[in-house]
Amino acid sequence: MMNNYLPIQPPKLQQIENPDYSYQEYVSCKSLASHVVCYWTMDFHAENKNQLHRILPDGCIDIIIDRQSTSSWKAAFVEGLMTRFEVLRLSKSQSLFGIRFYPEAAHSILKFPASSFIGQHVFLEDIWGMEGLFMVEEILSTQVVSKIIEIVERKLIHLLALSNTPANSLLLESMQYIYAFKGNISISDLAEKLSFSKRHMRRIFDQELGLSPKEMIGIIRFQFILQELYNGTSSSFTDIALKYGYYDQSHFIKNFKRYYGMLPKQL
């Protein structure tokens, strides 16, 4: 099954018009495509004004590097899975570079399951040691994004070649089904397709991701709904709600607001 999952974050969806605020995404090389969703940059130049930066649950794990940091060992950290939106009020200039990983593939690169990073602020040096510190120092020495991507991809390919932590096969297959069904699948149907009990699946998801299958399915479904809005493929919110298995519009709106923090019509 091919992975058709490309999560969306608000700056891309809302097309915020502020010359001092910029968010960009970049594709990875083919050899990392099963692990890396994208690389991203967020830059904000404070000119006596604030900017809201909204972050949504996307079922992914990110390494974030503060390109303006004066300390190499404090510049990079891992941001774990989110289950609710977050809004940051930017008041100082910022320049960030991010590496966004698929949840089922993160363990083999980060050396720890995604569940280890929920609610934690873990510095990259604590995971990769001196090698992580050297990579960050290299990144901080250049301002060119294409050069940063080269540095990162060289490191990730090297780590994968050395990795002795293959992705959990049940988690991998589960996530492929969830992506293929665009999150519009019940836990019972998923368990049946995989020939495992719901209890066993919940145990694996909790162990590897720190989230229940139900929560992850909900996040992936929400992100596919955002793809529909971004691509303009459906004519109304009612059509989208029905397509994704919401037969009660109030349930659809409540879920959307929980993950986005805004009503669909406010977009």
Give yes or no for a contact between 42 and 66, defined as CB atoms under 8 angstroms apart. no
Sign of CA dihedral 208, 211, 212, 214: negative
Domain 169-266: assigned CATH number: 1.10.10.60
Q: What percent of the chain has pLDDT over 70?
A: 98
Q: Residue 214 has what pLDDT?
A: 95
Q: For helices 169-180 and 187-194, give the axis angle rounded to 10 degrees.
A: 130
Q: What is the pLDDT of residues 84-141, one digit of tens each?
A: 999 998 888 999 999 999 999 999 999 899 999 998 889 999 999 999 999 999 999 9
- Residue closest to 138 by CA, chosen among 154, 126, 123: 154
What digits encode the pLDDT tens for the residues 54-90?
999 999 999 999 999 998 889 999 999 999 999 998 8
Between CA 260 and CA 166 the distance in angstroms is 33
What pLDDT is stored for residue 165 in this prediction?
76
Instruction: Report the relative pairing of strands 122-123 and 51-55 from DSSP bridges.
Output: unpaired
Local confidence band at 17 (pLDDT 50, 70, 90 cut-offs): confident
Rounded Cα distance between 54 and 13, Å, is 11
In terms of phi and psi (left: phi > 0; alpha: psi -120 to 50; beta: otherwise), the region of 195 is left
- Reported as a pLDDT band with limits 50, 70 and 90, residue 204 is very high
pLDDT at 48: 66
pLDDT score at 18:
79
Question: ∠ at Cα 218 (212, 219), nearest 5°?
Answer: 95
pLDDT band at residue 24 under the 50/70/90 scheme: very high
- Looking at the predicted structure, is the pLDDT value of residue 176 above 70? yes
pLDDT of residue 77: 96
Taking the alpha carbons of 7, 11, 12, 14 in that order, is the dihedral positive or negative? positive
Assign 3-class secondary structure to the chain: CCCCCCCCCHHHHHCCCCCCEEEEEECCCHHHCCCEEEEEEEEECCCCCCEEEEECCCCCEEEEEECCCCCHHHHEEEECCCCCCEEEEECCCEEEEEEEECCCCHHHHHCCCHHHHCCCCEECHHHHHHHHHHHHHHHHCCCCHHHHHHHHHHHHHHHHHHCCCCCCHHHHHHHHHHHHCCCCCCHHHHHHHHCCCHHHHHHHHHHHCCCCHHHHHHHHHHHHHHHHHHHCCCCCHHHHHHHCCCCCHHHHHHHHHHHHCCCHHHC
Instruction: Give mean pLDDT, residues 184-205.
Output: 95
pLDDT exceeds 50 at position 1: no
Domain boundaries, the chain: 10-162, 169-266
Strand partners, 90: 51
CA distances from 117 to 33, 211, 250 (A): 22, 12, 33
**Average pLDDT of 185-190?**
95
Is 2 a residue whose pLDDT tops 60? no
The identity of residue 219, as a single letter, is I
Work out the pLDDT band at 20, boundaries 50, 70, 90: confident
What's the pTM value of the predicted model, to 2 decimals? 0.93
Give the chain's mean pLDDT: 91
Q: What is the pLDDT of residues 236-257, one digit of tens each?
A: 888 888 899 988 888 899 999 9
Sign of the alpha-carbon torsion through 54, 57, 59, 61: positive
Residue 49's pLDDT is 78
| pLDDT for 157 beyond 80 | yes
Cα 221 from Cα 256, distance rounded (Å): 10
The answer to whether 224 touches 231, Cβ cutoff 8 Å, is no
Q: What is the mean pLDDT of residues 43-61?
A: 88
